[in-house]
């Protein structure tokens, strides 16, 4: 089936209503309406004028980046030697120092900028069905959750499949532990992920249930598939509801609890020992390749250095970090200096506060008018597939100009672009300030198998796919920084 021209796809995306979502939603899937729009492959009827002068240098960049295992080697150091790195942890401090030193060793101008971040700690966690049978339940506390009382909570389980069912069963909820057993629909290559529809139960579920007297909540892990691996993630408390403990359960245990509850009363004991400490010092890490003609104009490429406190943070978002670092290193080793400055920003605290991106936007407010484009990668280390692009005033125009450039990187798999007003979480504050911004999407079919779990480890990364992403980013960053005119003009 022939797909619509890009201009028509952009118009359809612009007309689509924004999705209903709640709480923290990763950038690359936060706008499911635009993500699902039929963004067409680059037209081959006429040569893309913006790309023509850069074909030779783009081929050189691609060859160098794909032949170099530097991104994978960097990721191995980050994941195996440091590992999980939640905001406020010593491991994140080590990751910041490592990133700064690694970029300096590659010859870049590097600095760090202090940011105060939340400091939540996970303690001991356990859950057990105690009636009508005895069964251990695998739980993982949600980021930001309060602890249970010292001896835990023992209460009946009420299973609901939606917020509407919660409201309808409000009389049953008082004094109970509410389980939100809401499955994630299968990944669709056209429509993307269902994450935006189900993450609201993780982010809002505790307060919604607490308003009806619930004493704790459990949330089915946000994934299609599970090998009894619970998924964590951020939750938040509303100011008009009591704070109650919140944890995720595996797909398998959610299904067990639902089956038991369908047959009769179920009682469960839950114990969480999490706590929130005072804010802790952290930092964004910034590395630059200065422009030769217009050094005050900036093309920003970024990712977030923090991760959840389980697994190794390999896909989320160690992969994005090393791709940005290696993209800059590839250009420097090739002796390529564009007209404008290319700036790598490794943001702190994306996962449970977004303090790094907000601090960067505030600290650099005076230079944001000279930030030509901001691109983030937070979709895992899979092969790149498309770009989501946003702008306060010119999303379609920026997307169309980027579409002209995609012929330079189509061999990496990056072949589509679409306009959206919802882009990456770390570039959203820049978008709000008027900076054109975008996010690199990947083939996300496997992403939520590992997302926010113990399974997000280096062995899940394909070095060739990781290199493809670094190569595509290096080409686009260089060309956008070197264009005679700004991308948004």
Identify the residue whose tokens are 């939603």.
Answer: 25
Question: For residues 205 and 189, is the Cβ–Cβ distance under 8 A?
Answer: no
CA dihedral over 286, 57, 463, 469, signed as positive or negative: positive
Q: How far apart are CA 203 and CA 207, in angstroms?
A: 9
- Please name the residues in contact with 299: beta carbons below 8 A apart, sequence gap of 6 or more: 338, 340, 341, 342, 343, 371, 372, 373, 374, 375, 477, 480, 481
Smallest Cα–Cα separation from 439: which of 371, 390, 404? 390
Residue identified by tokens 């980027």 is 402
367 a catalytic residue: no
Contact 269, 107 (CB under 8 A): no
CA distances from 468 to 36, 315, 448, 482 (A): 23, 15, 21, 21
Query: Is the torsion defined by CA of 374, 308, 239, 198 positive or negative?
Result: positive
Largest CA distance in the chain: 73
Task: Round to whole Å and give the CA distance between 482 and 489.
Answer: 14
User: Hey, what are 433's tokens?
Assistant: 């300030």
> How open is the CA angle 416-452-156, to the nearest 5 degrees?
130
Tell me which of 350, 351, 404, 465 is the catalytic residue: 350
Query: φ, ψ for residue 49 (rounded to 5)?
Result: -60, -40
Question: Taking Cα atoms as reference points, which of 383, 251, 379 lies closest to residue 316?
Answer: 379
Which 8-state DSSP code applies to residue 147?
P
Please compute, for residue 422, the number of CA atoms within 13 A of its CA located in the half-sphere on the CB side: 22
Which residues are designated catalytic?
A: 350
């Amino acid at each position: 089936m022939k797909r619509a021209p890009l201009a028509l796809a952009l118009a359809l995306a612009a007309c689509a209503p924004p999705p209903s979502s709640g709480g923290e939603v990763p950038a690359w899937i936060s706008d499911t309406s635009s993500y699902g729009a039929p963004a067409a492959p680059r037209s081959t009827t006429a040569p893309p004028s913006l790309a023509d002068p850069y074909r030779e240098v783009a081929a050189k960049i691609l060859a160098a980046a794909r032949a170099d295992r530097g991104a994978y080697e960097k990721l191995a150091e980050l994941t195996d030697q440091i590992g999980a790195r939640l905001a406020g942890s010593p491991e994140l401090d080590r990751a910041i120092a490592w990133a700064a030193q690694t970029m300096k060793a590659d010859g870049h101008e590097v600095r760090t900028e202090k940011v105060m971040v939340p400091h939540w700690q996970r303690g001991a966690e356990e859950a057990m069905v105690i009636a009508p049978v005895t069964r251990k339940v695998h739980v993982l506390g949600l980021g930001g959750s309060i602890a249970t009382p010292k001896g835990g909570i023992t209460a009946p389980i009420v299973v609901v499949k939606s917020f509407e069912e919660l409201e309808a069963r409000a009389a049953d909820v008082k004094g109970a532990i509410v389980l939100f057993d809401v499955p994630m629909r299968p990944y669709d290559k056209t429509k993307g992920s269902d994450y935006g529809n189900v993450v609201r139960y993780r982010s809002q579920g505790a307060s919604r249930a607490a308003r009806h007297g619930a004493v704790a909540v459990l949330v089915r892990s946000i994934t299609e598939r599970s090998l009894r691996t619970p998924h964590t993630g951020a939750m938040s408390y509303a100011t008009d509801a009591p704070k109650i403990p919140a944890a995720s359960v595996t797909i398998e245990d959610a299904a067990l609890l639902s089956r038991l509850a369908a047959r009769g009363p179920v009682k469960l004991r839950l114990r969480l020992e999490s706590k929130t400490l005072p804010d802790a010092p952290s930092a964004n890490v910034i590395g630059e390749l200065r422009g030769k003609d217009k050094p005050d104009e900036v093309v920003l490429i970024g990712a977030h250095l923090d991760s959840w406190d389980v697994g190794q943070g390999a896909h989320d978002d160690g992969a994005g970090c090393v791709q940005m670092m290696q993209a800059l290193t590839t250009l420097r080793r090739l002796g390529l200096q564009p007209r404008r400055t290319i700036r790598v920003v490794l943001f702190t605290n994306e996962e449970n506060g977004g303090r790094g991106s907000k601090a960067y936007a505030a600290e650099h407010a005076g230079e944001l008018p000279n930030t030509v484009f901001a691109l983030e990668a937070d979709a895992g280390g899979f092969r790149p597939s498309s770009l989501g692009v946003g702008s306060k005033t010119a999303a379609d125009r920026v997307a169309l100009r980027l579409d002209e450039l995609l012929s330079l990187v189509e061999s990496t798999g990056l072949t589509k672009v679409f306009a959206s007003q919802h882009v990456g979480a770390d570039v959203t504050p820049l978008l709000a300030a008027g900076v054109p911004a975008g996010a690199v999407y990947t083939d996300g079919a496997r992403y939520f198998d590992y997302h926010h779990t113990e399974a997000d480890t280096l062995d899940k990364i394909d070095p060739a796919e990781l290199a493809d992403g670094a190569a595509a980013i290096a080409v686009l960053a260089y060309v956008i920084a070197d264009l005679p005119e700004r991308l948004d003009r």
